[in-house]
Structure 1
């Protein structure tokens, strides 16, 4: 999530390690996970049936992983049988729970891109490069909304992920922790972050797990030296993952921390509301 540093309104939240991160789409034509084997085209007689069966097995195995060994993130569970209905229900939850500018407070406006849907996952490679990848198998919805506070230059992102089951959500959060601890100093292009660490999470009731990440961006995307603090507060409630990312000038530390905590709490409150009650707010 990094943003160009807030020297005035930031040029945009760009997700930091283990938080939401707009990333490149999968390579065109790659409908199956990487590592799938090429199919031999012709066989004769009874041998063809055996090869077809073998290919089915290979396809099933290849679909069991996300195809990227960097930084963890193996798939845990398949999507439900009625995938379309499950995805529609999950997307409705994500759309209802993710925050709009007024939810952050007065002075916040939409930031482009305002909504990233689907939002990919973050990844910290073994060489400490911050990157992103498509969502893992078992992700039913992954939606992100970006905002900016004009006066302070603080940028915020709320993200909601809904998984097929609790086991996949737990694995996602475990992988997020691995990302945090992989490298204290990270990079992406010209961008540099220092002091990446797992911090004490906000004390919020109702979550099954809470994780907090903090760090400083010291070089922006255009190569300029900056001193920006970012905080990512993430909570798991069952199979749902909620994240609030906030970045701003380092001297706005207390304000950044408060926005992250308050935004995560607000999303959790929305998650617990019945859709009818939320619509009638």
Structure 2
């Protein structure tokens, strides 16, 4: 979206924009399919308590539109899931609110290297993730770590790559079965965010 374009004035416009930005399996490339729960707009938000356990809270009043789509890539040679993840688009009331959202993400990373989700999933944040360059983005944040599932599966490497452009926050998330696929999910997330930024520029 060109910076001279006014941000969406209604929630309907903001929601339509967010829906247009989240990627489909076809956008990700050959072999990607929908997850069982494929797309949604969240009705609640997440925050973290003093013990770094995930808490469900009300959506921020400054969030005017959001959409997520979840995908997966199966190994054609066997039962292994090569990667799974999602893209997410958030439209805020203004650029300041979007900046505040990213700042909150950074504060959580600084405060909670280990976190527990409401379903029992445990993640460990590992600092030092490469930060891809997006000259047209106002902010870039990369978060890498490991996930242990409630059934004991893992640890699985994951990457969340987030960018802000004006009042829009875009993110791509992927999880892989083994650390030797970390380079692959880095490449795929980088490409996914690039595609969303390009789509935003044309919107």
CA distance in structure 1 between the aligned counterparts of 2:128 and 2:171, rounded to whole angstroms = 14
Corresponding residue number in structure 2 for 1:245:
173
Number of corresponding residues: 189
Larger radius of gyration: 1
CA distance in structure 2 between the aligned counterparts of 1:120 and 1:207, rounded to whole angstroms = 27
Post-superposition offset of 1:124: 2.5
The answer to whether structure 1 residue 112 and structure 2 residue 36 are counterparts is yes
Q: Which has the higher strand share?
A: 2
Q: Normalised by the size of structure 2, how large is the TM-score? A: 0.86
Post-superposition offset of 1:136: 0.3
Contact 2:143 2:159 in 1 (8 A): yes
CA distance in structure 1 between the aligned counterparts of 2:113 and 2:101, rounded to whole angstroms = 20
CA distance in structure 1 between the aligned counterparts of 2:72 and 2:99, rounded to whole angstroms = 30
CA distance in structure 2 between the aligned counterparts of 1:193 and 1:176, rounded to whole angstroms = 15
> Per the alignment, do residues 95 and 157 of structure 1 end up closer, same or farther by CA in structure 2, a change over 3 Å counting?
same
Post-superposition offset of 1:225: 4.0
CA distance in structure 1 between the aligned counterparts of 2:71 and 2:153, rounded to whole angstroms = 23
Corresponding residue number in structure 2 for 1:212:
142
Matches within 5 A, 1:226-265: 226-249=154-177, 250-265=179-194
CA distance in structure 2 between the aligned counterparts of 1:134 and 1:106, rounded to whole angstroms = 37
Contact 1:200 1:211 in 2 (8 A): no
Matches within 5 A, 1:57-96: 86-96=10-20
Post-superposition offset of 1:119: 5.8
Post-superposition offset of 1:201: 1.9
Corresponding residue number in structure 1 for 2:133:
203
2:199 to 266, 270, 273: 270
**SS state at 1:154 partner:** strand
CA distance in structure 2 between the aligned counterparts of 1:203 and 1:86, rounded to whole angstroms = 32
Matches within 5 A, 1:84-163: 86-118=10-42, 120-151=44-75, 152-163=81-92
Post-superposition offset of 1:165: 0.8
Q: Which runs of 5+ in 1 are unaligned?
A: 1-82, 275-281
**What RMSD over aligned residues (CA atoms) do the two structures have, in Å?**
1.8
Corresponding residue number in structure 2 for 1:24:
none
